[in-house]
Structure 1
């Protein structure tokens, strides 16, 4: 089930992302450079208002999963309605602020041509409703996830994510402009909310309204308050470094820094979706006091996800220079490619904490995760400032890597054997350590071949193909468990392979 949920969860994010990438040139052509920029900026401003969210969804998934496992329908309903009331109120608050501050945002932050001002204000006000719908939509998605029905949540994300991108292009090409595109996106969000409401009713959860008890309120608020620290830390990690680079090295340096950094984070961000499905599973095991079943799940998940991340790292390092050259131009090679490699390594090291953090939270210790995440954000920002002041964007990238190594090591050593009931030595030996050693060995052999002998598109294709085959064979031999390897071989024989 865990593997199936992981694949569904990643597909739910990957398919809309691919569609969005493919439709960007069409939207730019239909809306014009300024029009597309306005739509993007409106979406960014709406997205930043999500900082109002204190991460209630994390607590909701945990307590919904626990209540469902314990067949406690009363607590399940109380948890659901508390979250629904919170996100409804949050959405209304944010939508009101956005609507009435539309002209202020336009005058202060947007530099648009006079002919586009009225349309921009109108689109911004319409988008205020989108904030409300997005909050409700994102909360409703946690219900199938808490029930470990990632197939249904991913189907919703994939269908409506693809639909909204294609519909935006159709409306833009029909002359709808930025107002038309904004309206169609709001309309599809409304349809998504209606679909999710129908879907939840199909689960037969007996969700008659129940005002949450004091115990339920306190549990959710306490858990989410610490989970919010992680959200603040991720905001620092995602945006703070760019502000520092811009302040110390200028906007040109930001471009050379942010483009490769964004590429690396998007690719490894997709693999995080493979990890996150362990959260409701671990919550359910904790609720039913089956902690002994957590150990094999935890070690397998760490081993497989780490190896998949290493494969992603290998592809970025081996093909990153060629991709940057063809995507954004040859000028990015000298400065952008080293940043890409260093940032990918930093994100890889950070990813070692994903599954331990999720399990740590599922077992009721969000305080530990939140404090370490906040420390990671603050230390990272401090080191990035020093690195940028000393060596520009290369210094910033090195600082990220150093912060990742330091805080990841501290976190893993602290939680294992304490809040996560598995020793660090076991996690290294039977979990992520094996994947690290096998993956890095293969990449260490292939990298000199690329850098010393191969060049150009054909050389990149050859080395990437070799890496895929080598990593695949090594994964089958050393990462896949004996039982799963036997089952795979048996399946291949039946298929006549």
Structure 2
């Protein structure tokens, strides 16, 4: 596990944040609260779409990492072919469900009276096209991560991040139609899928890029990814539920009040994300031949990551009013500042939980993490609805931070049991 791999991950995750920082204030000013809120919901749904691979992408990383360096490396092509077919099917099912939801009028559930419903419906239909692309991309990205090929996927992340924020900004200079803005997101995901595939095939030897679908491999992937499916669906769903419930309980404009500090604070997780992305395949490989070394590696990076996150979040909470004022170009909304500071607590807990999450999955303990996430669902939804109704967007932030804290404690307890 090299520091250069983590550096590439940080670069790939961090530079898009800079692009977002430059474009989001202009998008907010140009689109208005409701249209920007709908765009934020689209970003959230596309992020959630990656869960439609049903854990196959994660299982591919774990399986390919274990097969490398003489551990039946010839089977890797079969793993990739099988995983790709599975995720194409699951992503296609997700697309059909979204298309049906759009035709049944799900857009009417969002309070956005300034945006025509026909425009909202078109946007939802377009988003449906992105689902299979995101699902299959997860498989190809998983192969790159298994081979620790972080430079290529980091460059791609930078370009995708630029398109994610830059294209809507450029389009907003000519039109504020939400469906056209979202069409740019779909096109960028199609291009990303193509490049992920190219990079994945480059990792494999020239004579080992053509595999066959294998039911046996499919069973292995589902054995790992079956329980992870629950986590991969529930975790992003719970992460994005606050935005949708705020839109339904309060308004689409209130989503903006919440999303702005949310994006500022949560993006600090790029450090833990950069480390866990590298640690997962590295620990998976070490567990085959050197379990004690895997434990030492985890402990070393856990201390480093959490120490850095704590220091960074304390600083962020202190300067948040000035940072938001500088970023948005006008005095920060006190409600947004309060939301951001509350979320800082949850972000630290999230970083702790994500480290244990990676460790547990490297050990194949996907069932345990899935059961924990199942337990969280009713508790979080009840807290989110109740606290949002009682305290508005600040209540939603408290509910999110409480869930992250509960998750971190649970993950730590599960890791102790897995020794």
Query: Normalising by structure 2, what TM-score?
Result: 0.81
Matched, 1:86 2:86: yes
Structure 1 CA distance for aligned equivalents of residues 17 and 294 of structure 2:
32
2:268 equivalent in structure 1 = 267
Structure 1 residues 373 and 2 mapped into 2: Cα distance closer, same or farther (>3 Å)? farther
* Contact 2:163-2:185 at 8 Å conserved across structures: no
Residue matched to 1:16: 16
Q: 1:301 to 1:121 in 2, by over 3 A?
A: same
Match of 1:488 in 2: none
Higher RCO, 1 vs 2 (CA within 8 Å, ≥6 residues apart): 2
Q: Given the superposition, is the C-alpha separation of residues 30 and 391 from structure 1 closer, same or farther in structure 2, using an over 3 Å criterion?
A: closer
Whether 1:365 and 2:371 are equivalent positions in the alignment is no
Comparing 241-250 with 194-203, greater Cα deviation is found at 241-250
Deviations 1:357-410 (A, max 9, x none): 211111121122222333345444455566667777666655655555555345
- 1:350 equivalenced with 2:350 (yes/no): yes
* Secondary structure of 1:352's aligned partner: helix
Contact 1:306 1:352 in 2 (8 A): yes
- 1:54-73 paired onto structure 2 within 5 Å: 54-73=54-73
Preserved CA contact (<8 Å) 2:384 2:396: yes
Matches within 5 A, 1:298-337: 298-326=298-326, 332-333=333-334, 335-337=335-337
Which residue pairs with 1:223 in the alignment? 224
The residue correspondences of 1:9-408 to structure 2 (distance < 5 A) are: 9-25=9-25, 27=27, 40=40, 42-45=42-45, 52-99=52-99, 102-105=102-105, 108-109=108-109, 124-163=124-163, 165-170=165-170, 173=173, 181-205=181-205, 206-214=208-216, 216-235=217-236, 237-240=238-241, 259-269=260-270, 271-287=272-288, 289-326=289-326, 332-333=333-334, 335-382=335-382, 404-405=404-405, 408=408
1:438 — aligned with what?
none
- Aligned mates of 1:330, 1:168 — CA distance in 2: 25
Cα distance change on mapping 1:331 and 1:371 into 2, 3 Å: same
- Using the TM superposition, give the Cα deviation of residue 58 of structure 1 relative to its aligned residue in structure 2, in angstroms: 1.5
Contact 1:30 1:175 in 2 (8 A): no
For 1:146 and 1:231, how far apart are their aligned partners in 2? 19
Return the offset for 1:22.
Answer: 1.8
Equivalent pair of 2:145/2:277 in contact (CA under 8 Å): no
Deviation at 1:78, TM superposition (A): 2.4
Deviations 1:56-84 (A, max 9, x none): 21211111111124442343222211210
Cα separation, 1, equivalents of 2:195 and 2:410: 44
Taking the aligned partners of 1:263 and 1:14, their CA distance within structure 2 comes to 12
CA spacing shift, 1:295–1:127, aligned 2, 3 Å? closer
The answer for the alignment partner of 1:492 in structure 2 is none
Counterparts of 1:99 and 1:311 in 2: how far apart (Å)?
45
Q: Secondary structure at the match of 1:277?
A: helix
Q: Secondary structure at the match of 2:194?
A: helix
* Paired residues of 1:12 and 1:157 also in contact (CA < 8 A): yes
1: CA distance, partners of 2:291 / 2:42: 46
Alpha carbons of 1:124 and 1:286: their partners in 2 closer, same or farther (altered >3 Å)? same
Deviation by residue 1:137-172 (Cα, 9 ceiling, x = unmatched): 333111111111111211121134325644554455
CA–CA distance in structure 2, aligned partners of residues 311 and 45 of structure 1: 31
Larger radius of gyration: 1
| Mapped partners of 2:183, 2:403: distance in 1 | 43
Seen in structure 2, the aligned counterparts of structure 1 residues 257 and 174 have a Cα distance that, compared at 3 Å, is closer
1:173 Cα deviation from its structure 2 partner: 4.2
User: How far has the Cα of 1:301 moved from its partner?
Assistant: 0.6
Q: Secondary structure at the match of 2:59?
A: helix
Once the two structures are TM-superposed, the CA of residue 28 in structure 1 deviates from its matched residue by 6.1
